[in-house]
């Protein structure tokens, strides 16, 4: 058998460490790591957005095994009652995960109940590994407003698909901003886009492009609330989402319009994908 280049003719411990991608790890440590089950972060975060908005206990497809591992770890830390260890990342599990995040000293958006890379990895220490890791990235300025780098990449791809620029009216991380936004812009992943100069067909095309790359997006009109015409978009699975934006995304998956009245979705129908799923398509 041809050995991996990093192993060469080294001892078995070095070879095993190379194979597991963890140089310096002992044979026992490497074997233990390889034997641990894994939590799919993408699937877990998706469930944490959708499940709290369900009217029943339907499980998010593909998330049950990962959510169970998370819930079992929370139970063993006495943060979640055993009766809630069911693979359903509902409001009780979100609250338990928030408590765990706060126990790590996290506050604000870092304790929003969505599993972030650091908190999920710490919860899984010695219990599970974390795969399909996602994160919002650093905060940056786009068109004079603040977004995170994941959102910036998503907007850039939507612009490419449309062949036109998009003007941002409001960005993310904007607590105390427009009161009609009801807190959705307090965290990451959320933007409002100008529709000035767009006809109805163009507005719909913009929403469709945003949805294709992983946003829950809608055209908002003055008939709905005390706001001007604009497009509202929230990046699915951005782990910096405010709780209000998390609820909007859960409703989007459930075919609703993301407003307080929870009416039917009024936007163009597309296959719902996260940004990461769009990139893998």
Tell whether 57 and 69 lie within a shared domain.
Answer: yes
Of 131, 156, 191, the residue at which a domain comes to its end is: 131
Q: Can you tell me the distance from the alpha carbon of 266 to that of 82, in angstroms, rounded to the nearest whole number?
A: 39
Beta bridge partners of 274: none
Tell whether 145 and 120 lie within a shared domain.
Answer: no
pLDDT of residue 99: 98
Tell whether 156 and 269 lie within a shared domain.
Answer: yes
Checking if the pLDDT of 172 tops 90, the result is yes
Tell whether 175 and 63 lie within a shared domain.
Answer: no
The pLDDT tens digits of the residues spanning 192-243 come to 999 999 999 999 999 999 999 999 999 999 999 999 999 999 999 999 999 9
- Give Cα 178 to chain centroid, integer Å: 23
- Give Cα 25 to chain centroid, integer Å: 31
Of 131, 157, 189, the residue at which a domain comes to its end is: 131
The domain of 1 spans 1-35
Tell whether 174 and 224 lie within a shared domain.
Answer: yes
Tell whether 20 and 47 lie within a shared domain.
Answer: no
Tell whether 191 and 249 lie within a shared domain.
Answer: yes
With cut-offs at 50, 70 and 90, classify the pLDDT of residue 58: very high
Helix 41-50 crosses helix 243-253 at what angle (to 10 degrees)? 90
The pLDDT tens digits of the residues spanning 18-32 come to 444 445 555 545 555
Tell whether 51 and 171 lie within a shared domain.
Answer: no
Of 131, 154, 169, the residue at which a domain comes to its end is: 131
**The total number of structural domains that make up the chain:** 3
Tell whether 110 and 98 lie within a shared domain.
Answer: yes
Tell whether 57 and 126 lie within a shared domain.
Answer: yes
Pairing mode of beta strands 190-193, 168-170: antiparallel
For residue 7, give the nearest of 202, 132, 15, 128 by alpha carbon. 15
Of 35-44, 103-112, 141-150, 174-183, give the lowest mean pLDDT range. 174-183
The pLDDT tens digits of the residues spanning 68-81 come to 999 999 999 999 99
Contact 235, 245 (CB under 8 A): no
Contact 220, 168 (CB under 8 A): no
Averaged confidence pLDDT in the chain: 91
Contact 176, 210 (CB under 8 A): no
Mean per-residue pLDDT, 239-264: 97
Checking if the pLDDT of 180 tops 60, the result is yes
Tell whether 87 and 169 lie within a shared domain.
Answer: no
pLDDT of residue 19: 41
Tell whether 162 and 205 lie within a shared domain.
Answer: yes
With cut-offs at 50, 70 and 90, classify the pLDDT of residue 248: very high
Tokens of 190: 């959320």
């Amino acid at each position: 058998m041809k050995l991996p280049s990093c192993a060469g003719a080294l001892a078995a411990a070095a070879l095993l460490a190379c194979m597991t991608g963890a140089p310096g790890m002992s044979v026992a440590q490497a074997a233990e790591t390889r034997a641990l089950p894994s939590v799919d972060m993408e699937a877990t975060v998706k469930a944490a957005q959708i499940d709290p908005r369900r009217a029943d206990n339907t499980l998010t497809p593909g998330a049950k095994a990962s959510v169970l591992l998370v819930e079992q770890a929370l139970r063993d830390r006495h943060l979640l009652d055993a009766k809630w260890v069911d693979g359903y990342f509902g409001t009780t599990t979100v609250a338990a995960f928030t408590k765990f995040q706060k126990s790590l000293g996290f506050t604000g958006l870092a304790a929003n109940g969505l599993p972030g890379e650091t908190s999920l990895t710490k919860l899984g220490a010695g219990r599970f590994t974390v795969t399909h890791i996602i994160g919002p990235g650093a905060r940056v300025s786009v068109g004079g407003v603040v977004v995170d780098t994941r959102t910036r990449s998503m907007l850039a791809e939507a612009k490419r698909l449309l062949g036109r620029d998009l003007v941002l009216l409001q960005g993310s991380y904007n607590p105390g901003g427009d009161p009609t936004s009801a807190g959705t812009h307090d965290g990451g992943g959320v933007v409002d886009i100008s529709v000035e100069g767009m006809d109805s067909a163009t507005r719909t095309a913009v929403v469709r492009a945003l949805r294709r790359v992983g946003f829950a997006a809608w055209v908002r009109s003055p008939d709905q609330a005390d706001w001007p015409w604009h497009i509202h978009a929230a990046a699915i699975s951005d782990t910096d989402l405010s709780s209000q934006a998390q609820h909007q995304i859960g409703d989007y998956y459930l075919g609703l319009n993301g407003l307080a009245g929870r009416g039917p979705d009024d936007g163009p129908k597309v296959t719902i994908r996260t940004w990461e799923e769009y990139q893998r398509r």
